[in-house]
Amino acid sequence: MRRVRVLLVADTHLGFDLPLRPRVERRRRGPDFFTNFECALAPALAGEVDLVVHGGDLLYRSKVRRELVYRAFEPLIRVAAAGVPVVVVPGNHERSAIPYPLLAAHPGIDILDRPRTLLLSVGAERVAIAGFPFQRDNVRDRFRRLLDDTGWRDAPAAVRLLCLHQTVEGARVGPVGYTFRSGADVIRARDIPAGFAAVLAGHIHRHQVLTTDLEGRSHAAPVLYPGSVERTSAAERNEAKGYLRLDLRGNENGGTLERWRFEELPTRPMIDLEIRADGLGPERLATRIRQALRKVDPDAVVRLAVSGRVESTAAEVLRAESLRAISPKTITLSLRRARGTSRSG
Ligand SMILES: [Mn+2]
């Protein structure tokens, strides 16, 4: 049987830090998300894959302006127009707000807007793609029923995929590797039945592939998270960002995942700087900040924390416009309150 090549991208969060009419001129992170989304789809436009799955959170939040929805779907429409089918799982950021009927009107784009199973002819192979949109309430207890509602068992296909935007048991996030175990929003690994080649998932922003449950028992199918295409919070600052390429082969039991490859995307470094303000007047505080910023990567996304006692005369330096004036134009700078900060005067 023929190989089926799938490109899995998720959590693109388009619209993040991308104001329509910015009030101040500064380097935004918004374009980075679009750039990486386009980068991730390049293999599809080059004819290197047979199917593209977007695992959800296409957009950065659920209420967005219409123009952003068009911009976000435009790269997917180009992929579909090139003859590569596209499947989208609605994430928590797009459950109802997106004008899906409009976008679903494109014959090459399918949206898992309710529990259902899509049957696609991919090359010479029949591929079944089951899934449902993000479920907020107690997906743990409702998962088996939702899966049954997709009708996946009846799909006559050599490769079956399950597409989700949810947390599966064992998924890890954050700098210290917090592990999801038993919450109402966590799907039990053992509830994923045999009969799927793989589970393609969004929602967890750290790339990972889960193959065993918390007791070490093998999953019936591997769960693959490509992770987000850019960092959406400082908790992701040490994570590689990218997308996944999967090679699947059909058989009588829903097919198998022959191999997968994580393709890393370029990201700007995310850096935390801390400056102690004790006893510094405005000029010295400004100089201290300027010197610190000069040492970091000029492309960095910097979170500046000022700790200690900020002199009343120096507080002015920490205003957004003053900070912009002393920081290199290529840096994206934000101020966060450090612990133990106090102001005198
Ligand atoms: Mn997300």
Of 264, 287, 322, the residue at which a domain comes to its end is 264
Q: Residue 340: CB partners within 8 Å, gap ≥ 6?
A: 307, 308
Residues 193 and 313 in one domain: no
Residue 314 and residue 246 in one domain: no
Domain enclosing residue 227, as ranges: 3-264
How many angstroms does the Cα of residue 64 sit away from the middle of ligand 1? 15
Single pTM value for the model: 0.93
Q: 228: CA distance to ligand 1 center in Å?
A: 7
20 and 63 together in one domain: yes
CA of 231 to the centre of ligand 1 (A): 10
Supply the pLDDT for residue 104: 61
Closest CA to 6 of 40, 49, 56: 49
Q: Are 224 and 323 found together in one domain?
A: no
What is the CA(126)–ligand 1 centre distance, in A? 30
**Ligand 1 midpoint to CA 270 (Å):** 18
Beta carbons within 8 Å of 158's beta carbon, 6+ residues apart: 1, 125, 126, 127, 250, 251, 252, 255
Cα(291) to centroid of ligand 1, in Å? 35
245 plus 274 within the same structural domain: no
Separation of CA 60 and ligand 1 centre (Å): 7
pLDDT value, residue 207 = 98
Q: How many A from CA of 319 to the centre of ligand 1?
A: 31
Domain boundary among 235, 264, 293: 264
| 167 & 210 share domain | yes
Domain endpoint, select from 264, 298, 313: 264
Shared domain check, 281 and 258 = no
* 3-state percent breakdown (helix, strand, coil) of the chain, nearest 5: 25, 30, 45
248 and 281 belong to one structural domain: no
Same domain for 53 and 196, yes or no, is yes
Q: Are residues 260 and 275 in the same domain?
A: no
Query: In total, how many domains does the chain have?
Result: 2
Q: pLDDT tens digits for the chain (345 residues)? A: 689 999 999 999 999 999 888 888 888 999 999 999 999 999 999 999 999 999 999 999 887 888 888 899 999 999 999 999 999 999 987 765 555 566 666 889 999 999 999 999 987 799 999 999 999 999 999 999 999 999 999 999 999 999 999 999 999 999 899 999 999 999 999 999 999 999 999 999 999 999 999 999 999 999 999 999 999 998 999 999 999 999 999 999 999 999 999 999 999 999 999 999 999 999 999 999 999 999 999 999 999 999 999 888 999 999 989 999 999 999 999 998 766 666 554
How far, in Å, from the CA of 34 to the mean position of ligand 1? Answer: 15
Write the CATH number for 76.
3.60.21.10
Whether residue 136 sits in one domain with residue 155 = yes
Distance (angstroms) between ligand 1 centre and the Cα of 137 equals 17
Provide the pLDDT for residue 216. 95
Same domain, 169 and 285: no
| Residue showing tokens 């910015």 | 22
